[in-house]
């Protein structure tokens, strides 16, 4: 469905057109990009640390999961560092059989327990619903904090392209303020990215609206 709406803001008119993200297809191969092998990470507060460098390289190099610790801008898998995974990244990998999570004392953190940890936070639960859906579509999903969004979304991955999309997850209690949408669109346009709103539902489905911007 396509929707046009005009919003007056700062004495200018911005028109946005929302359309389904399915119109841009999926990411590379349009299927999940999963690293090979089985790897181990350790639960440390609200993160999972992969200490084995070989595993770190595989997880990052074959799917862009996690962040190499102390490496500002990694280029591919050419680094010698442990890897820090967010809880939602780790849950996705555990669900796919790629990662095993343990406590520092060696005890196992199973799938059900890790899922409970994530779902104990309404915020993480919403973010994970969208993260999982995009990963399953073959996209690479990274933090969007730099752009004031929840995620940046790649077809290929960081270092291979500039992220074409910035994405905000609708929380359900937010008021969709047209002025704020215009501001977000202008910011994304200024960094040559397309702004997407994601609407996760309770049954795990996600609706996306991708905005095209026209200035008058």
Catalytic residue positions? 154, 162, 193
Return d(Cα 169, Cα 176) in angstroms, integer: 12
The residue whose two tokens read 């500039």 is 162
According to DSSP, the residues that pair with 158 across neighbouring strands are 161
Burial degree of 211 (CB within 10 A; 0-12, 13-18, 19+): buried
Tokens, residue 45? 């507060």
Return d(Cα 140, Cα 68) in angstroms, integer: 16
Distances in Å between the Cα of 119 and the Cα atoms of 88, 164, 178 are 10, 29, 30
Tokens, residue 37? 């092998």
Return d(Cα 195, Cα 168) in angstroms, integer: 8
Return d(Cα 214, Cα 159) in angstroms, integer: 29
Q: How many CB atoms lie within 10 A of CB 190?
A: 9
In three-state secondary structure terms, 76 is coil
């Amino acid at each position: 469905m396509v929707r046009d709406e005009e919003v007056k803001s700062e004495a200018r008119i911005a028109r946005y057109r929302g359309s389904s993200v399915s119109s841009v297809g999926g990411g590379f191969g349009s299927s999940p990009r999963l690293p090979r092998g089985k790897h181990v990470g350790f639960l440390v507060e609200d993160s999972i640390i992969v200490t084995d460098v070989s595993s770190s390289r595989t997880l990052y190099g074959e799917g862009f999961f996690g962040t190499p610790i102390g490496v500002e801008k990694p280029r591919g898998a050419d680094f010698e560092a442990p890897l820090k995974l967010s809880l939602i990244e780790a849950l996705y990998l555990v669900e796919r059989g790629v990662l095993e999570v343990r406590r520092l004392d060696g005890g196992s953190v199973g799938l059900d327990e890790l899922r409970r940890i994530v779902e104990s936070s309404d915020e993480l639960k919403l973010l994970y619903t969208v993260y999982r859906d995009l990963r399953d579509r073959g996209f690479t999903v990274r933090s969007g904090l730099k752009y004031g969004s929840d995620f940046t979304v790649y077809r290929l991955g960081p270092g291979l392209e500039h992220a074409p999309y910035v994405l905000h997850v609708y929380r359900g209690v937010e008021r969709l303020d047209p002025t704020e949408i215009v501001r977000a669109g202008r910011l994304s346009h200024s960094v040559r990215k397309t702004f997407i709103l994601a609407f996760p539902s309770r049954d795990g489905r996600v609706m996306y609206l991708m905005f095209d911007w026209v200035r008058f």
